[in-house]
Structure formats: C-alpha cells, structure tokens
C-alpha cells in the first residue's frame, strides 16, 4: 500500500482555498498511484477555529467541503479532519472527527477521544469525546485512526483515564494513522518525536503522523510530519515550516528496519527564527496585508524585528522610521541608519521633539510644581506611536510591535506607546534570546550593527537612562521569569535555586502587577512552551504576590 502524507498550510474559515489545496494533493496522489492520502486534524476549516464552531453555518460549510473532496476520491482513499455534528442530544454538539473518504463518498467517520483543555487548547469547550473504538478496514489492512492528543496519554503521569490505542490494539490493527494540529514551541519537535516513537514501541506497529504547518495568528505550526517503522525508528520526517508531500510504502515499514537519514535540525534559536519569519509572513498574507512599518531606535529589539520582517515580507515591503528625541544618542540614530542600509529598506527620520514640546506646553499649567518623571517619558513613547500609526493609516502599513518577553513580563513599556502594533514579533522571546537571534541573523554577514548588540540597552527617554536602572540585569531577570512563567514555580522554590530573595519578590510582583497592561497588547507570536496570550490566563484584579 502506498500512503502519502500531505502537510499543508490551511487558512481558518477559508473553505474554498483549503478545499482546493486538498483536492490538488489528491489529484497529485492519483497521478502517482497512491492508495491513501492523509491530511491533518480539522484540515477543512483550519485549526483552531475556536468560537466559529458555535455557528451551524460554519459546520455545514465544513461538511459541504468534505463532500466535495469525497467526490474526488475515486480510485484513491483519503483521511481528513473536520468538525462534525453529534447526533445525540446528550453531550457537546460537535465531534472533532476524521473522515475516511473512498469510492467518491464518506465511508467511515472516527472521532477524537482525548480533548486537550490546557495551555492554548480548549477543545473540551466545543467537542464531545469519543467513546466507541473501531478500526477501519481498507485494502485488507486494519487502520487505527487517532487524532493528535489520542496518542499523548502514554507518559508515566497520564493526564487522562482512557487511552484510545489500548482499545484499538485489541482489534489487531496493522498500522496507526495520527492526524494532528500540534503547535510549535522550541521544545515541541523533540517531545513530539519521543511521544510518537513511544507509542510504536508499545504497540509494535508502524505509525504515520501528519501535522499542520503555518501560522494562525499567534499559534505557529511547524509541520515535522513523519513515518515510523514497527521498531520505533523514524523512517523520514517532512519539512519544518514548509508545505510538503511525501509518499511511503507501508510494506517497507515492516520489512526494513532502516532509520531516517534525518532532517538536519537547526539550533533552538534557528527554529525560533524560522518560526517568527513564518509567523509574520502568514499573518500578513492571511489578513491581506502587504507592508510593515517599524520604529527603529538603534536598539537590538527593533533591529531584530526589522531583520525578521525583511526576511518574511521582502525589503521593499518594510518601512523604517527613526523617531529621535532630545534624549536620543547620536550613535543610536547612526545604528538605525546602518541597519536600514544593510537591509536595503526605505527609511525616514521624523523628530518627535517639536510634538513633545507642544505636549509639554499644553500640560504646563496642569503640571505646575511637578518635576520630570515617567509621565514625560511616556509622552515621548506615545508621540512616537501616534506618528507610526498615522503612517500606518495613511499608507496601509501594519505596525510591528518590537517589545520582548522580558519587558512584557515586568511591564517595562508604555501602553499606547511602544506597546502598540498589529502583531508582537518578540513578545515571547526573552531579551537574552533576542541577543541570540541577533547573532544568528549575523552568522553569515553583519546585518545588525555590532554596536546595537554590544551597547547597554536603554529606552533613551531621559538623560543617561539604562534598562538596569529599573530592572535586574537581563541574565538574572530572564532566569527568574522563566522559572515563574514557563515552569510555574513560586517564590520559595525560585529562591531555593539560589536567587536573591528581594529580587525574586520584586520581579514576581512586577509580573503580576502588569497583567492589565499585557491584556491590551497585540497578539504575540508563540515560540515558547508558555507564552503570554491565549495560553496563559491570569486574573487582572488580583492580589497574589502584589
């Protein structure tokens, strides 16, 4: 049996595009005498559809797409994911389903059993879990069809009581197919491979795994679909961050115990780089945007964001704007100009001094007797945002936010100022990782000026300002933040690791006290196991550690 894995980039709710992509792959598979072509979880509508699932019209369009695709499945079979109505009155109104298409019709439907309801997942909000387990017979083979999470309950500390494959294996399936929507984080590829190979070693039959690629706003999907032989060796992986189509001969996964030549994986920071580039590119393409505008400060955050944007959109579609104030250093302006020239992007310089002076004059009587403080600093940041958004409105640019995760965590940013933007590129990248990204971008040639990397970071909103005037050194700050945000450790546990007690309490207080600010930030491209946004849900009006 020849089985093809079709790893595609879907667009949520774009039924025509998704359906056409799927049919194109089916036609391609037919020309190569493929017996079965496999597509990913919720492929017809894209993942995650979220509250679109509450609309009957949305579900009916999914089913219409399935029927159109089924009509193309003559002399070939296909497995494809879609939501489906639950015919029972009891329980949730929908299933997360895998449709088996053959002989130009829907011949079988299997439903997802384990519905994740943690981090970025909220499937139990919408779907009813499967309770009936049955393999599918095709060309004399029994297929155990599972959907993403159905294979993830195999650890020593299982999250669920049920394990679908423990039921399906009783029917002596010949192989497993897992259709998935597994979002990227920089640890996920290795965890995913470990989970999938563990399943094969437990059940002793081959496995075909198919994942999404592409960005759905903040969620990024990296692909990495694969075939695993009966001994648990990965025979081949599909590409990461790219669409791909690969054909496998089922019999070889039994006869030959050959291991993959392997995909040469990039470093962790290389994977983050590729994920962010894909995230920017897909956000613009799927929303019909073309060009970006970025405020260039001469600092490392705006430089890295700009370099990523150029990689994603092309230099002709990225506009840099330098917005110096009386506190801006000469070298910062020069660094920003060098960056723009290195990247070959158009840029202009717009001084904010006159606008800032006007605000000072306007507020003079109201501020009588008050000295310069954070208020005046924030006015400068907001003047810059007004100018950038004016350019956005006038010319159709989308403003890219350049704040990093360290800043977002502790509230080191100005709401309606430097926190503005259509999408946050670095909001899930700690400051220390931003430096790694800069060095990665510069690995072949100097694109980001070395001075932007080596100079002490500063917002330059007052004389001789440095970030460490307000914050611990980033090397310390980021380690504390990681333990609190990604690892969910409390203050006592972090202090026991050797961190200074007053520093720990100061940092955690800043994180919790800034929740109201983060609630108003742009969507953040997710690259870590725990990002701000849909995967981290904290109350705003709370008192814990504040």
Q: For the domain that residue 430 is a member of, what is the CATH number? A: 3.40.50.620
Which of 434, 467, 500 terminates a domain? The answer is 467
Give me the pLDDT at residue 262, please: 56
Q: Catalytic site residue 41?
A: yes
Instruction: Determine how many CB atoms are found less than 10 A away from the CB of residue 89.
Output: 6
In a domain? residue 482: no
Q: Is-cis flag, bond preceding 434, omega within 30?
A: no
Q: For the domain that residue 162 is a member of, what is the CATH number? A: 3.60.110.10
In a domain? residue 474: no
Which of 400, 435, 467 terminates a domain? The answer is 467
In a domain? residue 514: no
Same domain membership, residue 299 and residue 256: no
Same domain membership, residue 224 and residue 275: no
Q: Which two tokens stand for residue 236?
A: 């081949």
Same domain membership, residue 236 and residue 347: no
Select from 397, 391, 387 the least CA-distant residue to 354.
387
In a domain? residue 242: yes
Same domain membership, residue 169 and residue 42: yes
In a domain? residue 416: yes
- The count of domains in the chain is 2
Q: Whose structure tokens read 């015919």?
A: 87
Same domain membership, residue 334 and residue 260: no
Per run of 10 residues, the mean pLDDT along the chain (length 546 residues) is 98 98 98 98 98 98 98 97 96 98 98 97 97 97 98 92 96 98 96 97 97 98 97 94 97 73 76 98 98 97 98 98 88 94 98 96 96 94 97 98 97 96 98 98 96 86 78 96 98 98 97 96 97 95 93
Q: Which two tokens stand for residue 503?
A: 């520093």
Same domain membership, residue 366 and residue 261: no
Same domain membership, residue 353 and residue 457: yes
Q: Assign residue 339 a region: left if phi > 0, alpha if psi is -120 to 50, beta otherwise?
A: alpha
Residue from 148, 218, 311, 479 carrying the catalytic annotation: 148
**Residue 385: which domain range?**
270-467
In a domain? residue 483: no
Q: Which are the contacts of 369, defined by CB distance < 8 A and separation ≥ 6? A: none
Q: How far apart are CA 189 and CA 207, in angstroms?
A: 16
In a domain? residue 472: no
Give me the pLDDT at residue 259, please: 59
Same domain membership, residue 455 and residue 356: yes
Same domain membership, residue 320 and residue 227: no
Residue from 25, 41, 149, 377 carrying the catalytic annotation: 41
Q: How far apart are CA 11 and CA 386, in angstroms?
A: 32
Same domain membership, residue 121 and residue 254: yes
Same domain membership, residue 331 and residue 245: no
Give me the pLDDT at residue 462, please: 74
Give me the pLDDT at residue 55, please: 98
Give me the pLDDT at residue 393, please: 97
Q: Catalytic site residue 148?
A: yes
Which of 265, 285, 300 terminates a domain? The answer is 265
Give me the pLDDT at residue 327, please: 85
Q: Whose structure tokens read 């990665």?
A: 440
In a domain? residue 523: no
Same domain membership, residue 402 and residue 257: no
Q: Catalytic site residue 112?
A: yes
Residue from 21, 61, 112, 286 carrying the catalytic annotation: 112
């Amino acid at each position: 049996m020849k089985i093809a894995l079709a790893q595609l980039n879907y667009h949520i709710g774009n039924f025509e595009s998704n359906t056409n992509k799927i049919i194109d792959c089916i036609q391609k598979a037919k020309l190569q005498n493929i017996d079965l072509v496999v597509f990913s979880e919720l492929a017809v509508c894209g993942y995650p559809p979220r509250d679109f699932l509450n609309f009957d019209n949305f579900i009916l369009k999914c089913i219409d797409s399935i029927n159109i695709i089924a009509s193309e499945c003559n002399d070939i079979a296909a497995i494809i994911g879609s939501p489906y109505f639950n015919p029972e009155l009891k329980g949730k109104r929908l299933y997360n389903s895998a449709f088996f298409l053959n002989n130009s019709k829907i011949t079988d439907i299997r439903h997802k059993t384990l519905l994740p309801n943690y981090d970025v997942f909220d499937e139990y909000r919408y779907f009813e879990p499967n309770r009936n387990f049955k393999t599918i017979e095709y060309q004399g083979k029994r297929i155990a069809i599972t959907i993403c999470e159905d294979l993830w309950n195999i650890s020593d500390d299982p999250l669920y009581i049920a394990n679908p494959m423990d039921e399906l294996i009783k029917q002596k399936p010949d192989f497993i197919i897992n259709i998935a929507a597994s979002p990227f984080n920089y640890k996920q590829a290795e965890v995913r491979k470990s989970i999938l190979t563990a399943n094969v070693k437990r059940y002793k039959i081959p496995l075909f795994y198919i994942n999404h690629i592409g960005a759905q706003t903040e969620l990024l999907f990296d692909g990495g679909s694969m075939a695993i032989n009966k001994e648990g060796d990965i025979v081949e992986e599909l590409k990461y961050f790219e669409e791909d189509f690969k054909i496998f001969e089922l019999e070889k996964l039994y006869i030959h115990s050959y291991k993959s030549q392997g995909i040469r994986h990039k470093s962790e920071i290389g994977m983050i780089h590729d994920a962010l580039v894909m995230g920017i590119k897909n956000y613009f393409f799927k929303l019909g945007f073309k060009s970006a505008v970025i405020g260039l400060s001469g600092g490392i955050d705006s430089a890295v964001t700009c370099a990523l944007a150029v990689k994603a959109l092309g230099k002709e579609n990225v506009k840099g704007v330098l917005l110096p104030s009386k506190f801006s250093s000469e070298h910062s302006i020069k660094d920003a100009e060098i960056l723009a020239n290195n990247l070959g992007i158009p840029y202009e310089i717009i001084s904010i001094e006159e606008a800032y002076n006007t605000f000072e004059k306007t507020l003079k009587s109201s501020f009588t007797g008050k000295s310069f403080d954070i208020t005046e600093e924030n006015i400068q940041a907001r003047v810059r945002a007004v100018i950038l958004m004016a350019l956005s409105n006038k010319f159709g640019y989308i403003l890219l936010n350049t704040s990093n995760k360290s800043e977002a965590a502790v509230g080191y940013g100005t709401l309606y100022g430097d926190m503005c933007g259509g999408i946050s590129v670095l909001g899930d990248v700690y400051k220390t990782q931003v430096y790694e990204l800069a060095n990665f971008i510069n690995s072949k040639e100097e694109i980001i000026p070395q001075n932007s990397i080596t100079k002490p970071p500063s917002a330059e909103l007052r004389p001789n300002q440095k970030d460490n005037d307000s914050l611990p050194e980033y090397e310390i700050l980021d380690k504390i933040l990681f333990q609190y945000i990604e690892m969910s450790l409390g203050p006592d546990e972090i202090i026991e690791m050797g961190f200074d007690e007053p520093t720990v309490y100061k940092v955690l207080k800043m994180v919790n006290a800034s929740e109201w600010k983060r609630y108003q930030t742009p969507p953040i491209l997710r690259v870590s196991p725990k990002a701000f946004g849909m995967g981290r849900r904290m109350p705003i009006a709370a008192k814990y550690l504040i």
